[in-house]
């Protein structure tokens, strides 16, 4: 019990919490991106995927995923905030970045993280809660047999160019956040050394580009190019 307590109160323990929760949140992004790419496969494929997501394990799976995601996001933010506070108040501050250079991206980490958090709230209100004001709460999306026309909802959602711009800026900031996040993660988990650092930097750039380009392709192609209009 006290070992566990010591782990969470130590700087390195909390740094590991930030790294592991960050990695799991990234895995969620990858899975979500994979599912979203079905938009380009077609209406039926995307709606079928959304239906299965909502009905697996008698509807319990989506709630397990939601609670898990909320827990991960809360642990990620709380551990980061407590490290920042400790860093500011300690006489001998804990150095976040001993070897990863303090680049512009690293300095922007709190801001990009906060903006991604705001985006997730907006995104949930947009496509999950379907707030009337955002125009995605049309009763005609409800199809026969308990199906929901999530594909049409997304296509209509991005028809509003302001919404597409918000998504583009947000996924750009998410990419920036991930780029530096990966570099720190590899270091915290002890994978990055002087010899391998360059390889991990390249891997960080490629993975964050994959997330940015993948998610951005939807507002660009569906919203601005008007692929399905
Ligand atoms: C252009 C990009 C995106 C599209 C088209 C998209 C699409 C969707 C849709 C349609 C839903 C509703 C799922 C449902 O209830 O059936 C959803 C939920 C969600 N998305 Fe995205 N998404 C995008 C980007 C992102 C990004 C970048 C993140 C995270 C950083 C994210 C995180 C979430 C979360 C947390 C939920 C809520 C899951 C739930 O509780 O139902 N999405 N997304």
| CA triple 70-74-75, angle to 5 deg | 120
pLDDT over threshold 60, residue 93: no
Instruction: Let me know: does 121 contact 128? Beta carbons within 8 Å.
Output: no
pLDDT tens for residues 114-128?
A: 999 999 999 999 999
CA-nearest of 147, 168, 180, 145 to 225 is 168
pLDDT over threshold 90, residue 188: no
Domain ranges within the chain, ordered by starting residue: 2-224
pLDDT band with cut points at 50, 70 and 90 for residue 95? low
What is the mean pLDDT of the segment spanning 127-143?
A: 93
- What mean pLDDT is reported for the chain? 91
Q: What is the number of other CB atoms lying within 10 angstroms of the CB of residue 208?
A: 22
pLDDT for the residue 219: 98
pLDDT for the residue 191: 83
- Residue 59 is encoded by which pair of tokens? 């509807």
**β partners of residue 148:** 142
Report the pocket of ligand 1 as residue ranges, CB < 6 Å.
29, 32, 36, 50, 66, 69, 116, 120, 123-124, 127-128, 150, 154, 167, 171, 174, 215, 218-219
Ligand 1: residue of 32, 166, 210 to mutate (most ligand atoms within 8 A of CB) is: 32
What is the 3-class SS of 148-193, one letter each residue?
Answer: ECHHHHHHHHHHCHHHHHHHHHHHHHHHHHHHHHHHHHHHHCCCCC
pLDDT tens for residues 44-53?
A: 999 999 999 9
Residue bearing the CA closest to ligand 1, atom 8: 127
Q: What is the DSSP letter of 142?
A: B
Distance 212 CA to ligand 1 centre (A): 14
pLDDT for the residue 124: 97
pLDDT for the residue 194: 84
**For the domain 2-224, what is the CATH code?**
1.20.1300
CA distance 19 to 109: 14
pLDDT over threshold 90, residue 161: yes
Q: Identify the weakest region by mean pLDDT among 2-11, 75-84, 109-118.
A: 2-11
Highest mean pLDDT among 81-90, 104-113, 135-144, 170-179: 170-179
Distance 120 CA to ligand 1 centre (A): 8
CA distance 14 to 75: 9
Q: What is the pTM of this model?
A: 0.92
């Amino acid at each position: 019990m006290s070992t566990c307590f010591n782990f969470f109160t130590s700087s390195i323990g909390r740094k590991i919490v930030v790294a592991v929760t960050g990695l799991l949140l990234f895995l969620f992004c990858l899975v979500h991106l994979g599912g979203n790419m079905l938009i380009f496969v077609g209406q039926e494929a995307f709606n079928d995927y959304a239906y299965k997501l909502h009905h697996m394990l008698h509807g319990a799976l989506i709630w397990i995923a939601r609670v898990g995601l909320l827990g991960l996001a809360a642990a990620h933010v709380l551990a980061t905030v407590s490290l920042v506070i400790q860093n500011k108040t300690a006489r001998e501050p804990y150095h976040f970045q001993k070897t990863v250079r303090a680049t512009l991206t690293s300095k922007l980490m709190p801001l990009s993280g906060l903006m991604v958090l705001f985006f997730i709230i907006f995104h949930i209100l947009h496509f999950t809660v379907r707030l009337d004001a955002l125009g995605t709460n049309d009763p005609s999306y409800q199809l026969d047999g308990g199906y929901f026309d999530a594909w049409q909802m997304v296509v209509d959602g991005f028809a509003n160019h302001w919404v597409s711009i918000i998504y583009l800026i947000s996924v750009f900031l998410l990419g920036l956040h991930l780029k530096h996040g990966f570099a720190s993660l590899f270091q915290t988990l002890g994978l990055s050394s002087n010899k391998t650092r360059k390889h991990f930097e390249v891997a960080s750039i490629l993975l964050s580009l994959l997330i940015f380009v993948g998610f951005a392709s939807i507002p660009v192609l569906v919203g601005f190019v008007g692929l399905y209009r």
